[in-house]
Amino acid sequence: MVDKLVPNDPRVKHHTTTLPSGHTYHYLEALPSSGTPAATVVLIHGFPDLSFGWRHQIPFLTSLSLRVIVPDMLGYGLSSAPSPIPPYSYKSLSTDLASLIQLVSPSHPIILGGHDWGGAIVWRLALRHPALILGVFSICTPYNAPNSQGYIPKKVLIDQFLPNFAYQLQFEDPTLENKIQAAGRDGIRKFLNILYGSKDSKTGKGHFVANVGIDLSLFDEGVKVEKSELLSEEELEFYVDQYERNGVHAPMNYYRTWDVNYEEEKADLVKEGKSKVEVPGMILTATRDTALPPKMADNMEQFFPRGLIKREVEANHWATWENPEEVNKAIGEFVGELLKGRAKEFKASI
C-alpha cells in the first residue's frame, strides 16, 4: 500500500504567493523528515485536478530526501482564476512557473514533473527555461514541438489525425460548462466522477469517451452517476469543495488556448528555431489511456539531445492514482539517475 496524503494533511505546509504577472498561486511544500533535501521537485497537475492530485507521490518523494513543491495551477483550487483565455497559454503559464521556481529554489535547478495538462506545460517550461531545470518528466502527455508548419484548426487536426482528442471540442465549448454550473454542487461531483472513470452500473462502460466526450443528459436532475473507484468519498468531497469555489470556467480555459498558443509560439519559439528540450527527460505512458495513448509518444527522442527515457505502466489516464507503485518506481529511478550526476550520459531507451 502506497502512503498518500489525506485532505489537509499536516505533513505539508500551505503557501500563497503573488507572482510578477499579478497571479496568486497557492502551493504545497513537503520536506523530508530529517536532513537537508537532496533536491527540490516541482510537480504540475492537470485537468480536472489539484495539487492534491499528487497525493500518492509526495510522501514517496520526501522519503527519498527530496523537497516537494506542488502548486494549484492557475484557475484551480486556491490559486487565481482569471476569466480571459490568454493567461492559460503555454507561454504565460511557463512565465508564472519560472517565477515560482526562482522563488522556491533560487540557487539550484529543480526536478520538474507533470501529468495531463501539467505534462504539456512542463515540456514547454523546460523548452523555454532549461537553466532552471535538472530534468523533466511527464506522465501520460507526450512532447509535441512548436508548430512550424502553419496554422491548423483544432477540429481539422482531430478529424484527420487525432480522433481521441474529439472530447476537447466539447470541453472548449461553453455548453458543457453551463450544464455543469446549472446543476450546482451535484453537477461538479458528477463531472469529476465521470472524468475520474465512473462507469455505467448497467453496461460497465465508462461515461467519458475520448472520441466523443460526455453525454450531457447525465447532468439532468435525477440521473445518477456512480462514484469513481479511484478515490475515497473524503477525497472526492475535497475536490468538489475546491471546484465549487470558482467553478469550471477557468480550468476549461486550458482547452481554449489553441489559437493563442499557436500565435505566441510562432512569434518566438518557431521564429528562433527552438524545438529541442535541452534537459534530460522521461515520458511515462499508461497502457489504457484512451485520451493520450502510448503511441502518441513515438518519435519523441529526436527532440531530447540529452536523452529521453521511455517507460510504460499498466493503468488508465489516472496512472498516478491507479498504479502509484509503478509510477513512483519510475519517478524514483529517473530522479536517482539525475542525482547521480549522470544526466549528460543519458541515452534514449525504449
Q: What is the pLDDT of residues 246-305, one digit of tens each?
A: 999 999 999 999 999 999 999 999 999 999 999 999 999 999 999 999 999 999 999 999
| HEC per residue, 242-297 | HHHHHCCHHHHHHHHCHHHHHHHHHHHHHHHCCCCCCCCEEEEEECCCCCCCHHHH
Looking at the structure of the chain, the number of domains it has is 1
Q: Is residue 329 part of a domain?
A: yes
Domain-embedded: residue 7? no
Kindly name the residue from 116, 129, 207, 289 that is annotated as catalytic.
Answer: 116
Spatial distance between the Cα atoms of 191 and 208, rounded to a whole number of angstroms: 10
Q: Is residue 5 one of the residues assigned to a domain? A: no
Q: Is residue 4 part of a domain?
A: no
Q: Under the phi-then-psi rule, with left for phi > 0, alpha for psi from -120 to 50, and beta for the rest, what region is 325?
A: alpha
Answer yes or no: are the C-beta atoms of 138 and 123 closer than 8 Å: yes
Does residue 2 sit within a domain?
no
Q: What is the pLDDT of residue 207?
A: 97
Dist CA 54 CA 132 (whole Å): 22
* pLDDT confidence band for 342 (50 / 70 / 90): very low
CATH assignment of the domain containing 312 = 3.40.50.1820
CA-based nearest residue to 30, from 57, 1, 48: 57
Is 203 inside any structural domain?
yes
- Confirm whether 1 is domain-assigned: no
Nearest residue to 331 (alpha-carbon basis) of 297, 284, 294: 284
Q: Considering the candidates 26, 45, 56, 317, report the single residue annotated as catalytic.
A: 317
* 200 carries an active-site annotation: no
pLDDT in tens, 195-251: 999 999 889 999 999 999 999 999 999 999 999 999 999 999 999 999 999 999 999
Q: What is the pLDDT of residues 83-116, one digit of tens each?
A: 999 999 999 999 999 999 999 999 999 999 999 9
Between CA 316 and CA 1 the distance in angstroms is: 19
Residue 76 lies in a domain: yes
Active site residue 23: no
pTM, entire model:
0.96
For residue 127, what are the domain limits?
12-349
State in Å, rounded, how far the first CA of the chain is from the last one: 28
